[in-house]
Amino acid sequence: MNPKTLKYILKRIVLALFTIWVVITLTFFVMHAVPGGPFVGEKAVSPAVQKAMEAKYGLDKPLGVQYWTYLTDVIQFRFGPSLKQRGRMVIDIIGDGLRTSAKLGVISAGLATLFGVVLGSVAALRRNTVTDRIIMVITTAFVSMPSFIMGSLLLVTFAVKTHIFPANGSTRAGLVLPIVTLMLYPMAYITRLTRSSMLDVLGQDYIRTARAKGVSGMRIIFGHALKNALIPVITYLGPQLAYIVTGSLVVEQIFAVPGLGRSFVNSITNRDYTLIMGTTIVLATLIVVMNLVSDIMYKIVDPRIHLE
């Protein structure tokens, strides 16, 4: 690895750490901007009880001290107890939800990449034919459809009207529809990405050279073209995760999947502030780290790419 790449990687890591710090700080101050503090809305409490509660959660200390304790706590993943679910720690709720959500996310990301690459390559190789047109029209439609619309429509068609799949996402069969919902947008995006980069690669001189040497069509596609055409797909790994995370918020709500997304949405409606903060920080960190990884991979895989 040359020193320039190393410098770039270090720079990106510093930026990522800084971003995570900004997220943590932002959540802290945003939560402090809530009028009356986090205990408003509970049944009316006497000032003495209010004071005792504030003392218990450290809300009576000066802002700077609070911020420092908060920062050190968060770095050790101590988000404190949930305000609404009595006796449960935020980190446990997140851990439980994340297990289901991660399964959902990983499967749909994997399927999206697989189908996207295959469809994109097919569209590029059959360029300007009916197959290509059909693939492009369908992917354009999928890209323009918000995930909650897609999810609801799938729910109507396959669960409510025809009962092919259960509408409740807590069983194994019930996970099929949420996975499909989450998969379609990234799949369509990857298809378009692969198609355009595949077309670009197929026009390169080295492909013509390989053809001229008499290399078989299959070897050209798998040995020369696909490898290079997949490089831009790597850059989409980070945004894809971000999409799946935000998409899962509504999709889990629609299909009643007991995952992190649903508990996040519920925490917003219940105004469970510690849970909102904790979930935001965990998910944001996940996305930032994934962006970092995909950018660094991109740089390592293709040393030609010049990044400032």
Binding site for another protein (CB under 8 A): 15-16, 18-19, 22-23, 26-27, 30-31, 33-35, 140-141, 143-146, 148-149, 152-153, 155-156, 160-161, 196, 242, 245-246, 249-250, 253-254, 264-265, 268-269, 271, 276, 280, 283-284, 287-288, 291
Rank residues 19 and 50 by Cβ distance to another protein and give the closer one: 19
Smallest distance, Å, CB 152 to another protein? 5
The letter for the amino acid at 115 is F
Smallest distance, Å, CB 214 to another protein? 32
Smallest distance, Å, CB 81 to another protein? 20
Per residue, the 3-state secondary structure of the chain, as one string, reads CCHHHHHHHHHHHHHHHHHHHHHHHHHHHHHHCCCCCCCECECCCCHHHHHHHHHHCCCCCCHHHHHHHHHHHHHCCCCCECCCCCCCEHHHHHHHHHHHHHHHHHHHHHHHHHHHHHHHHHHHHCCCCHHHHHHHHHHHHHHCCCHHHHHHHHHHHHHHHCCCCCCCCCCCHHHHHHHHHHHHHHHHHHHHHHHHHHHHHHCCHHHHHHHHHCCCHHHHHHHHHHHHHCHHHHHCHHHHHHHHHHHHHHHHHHHCCCCHHHHHHHHHHHCCHHHHHHHHHHHHHHHHHHHHHHHHHHHHHCCCCCCC
Rank residues 18 and 222 by Cβ distance to another protein and give the closer one: 18
209 C-beta neighbours (distance < 10 Å), count:
11
Rank residues 28 and 116 by Cβ distance to another protein and give the closer one: 28
Smallest distance, Å, CB 216 to another protein? 30
Rank residues 24 and 122 by Cβ distance to another protein and give the closer one: 24
Rank residues 44 and 212 by Cβ distance to another protein and give the closer one: 44
Rank residues 210 and 260 by Cβ distance to another protein and give the closer one: 260
Smallest distance, Å, CB 121 to another protein? 18
Rank residues 134 and 141 by Cβ distance to another protein and give the closer one: 141
Smallest distance, Å, CB 267 to another protein? 9
For residues 201 and 229, the answer to whether their CB atoms sit within 8 Å is yes
For residues 231 and 298, the answer to whether their CB atoms sit within 8 Å is yes
Smallest distance, Å, CB 117 to another protein? 19
Rank residues 90 and 220 by Cβ distance to another protein and give the closer one: 90
Smallest distance, Å, CB 217 to another protein? 26
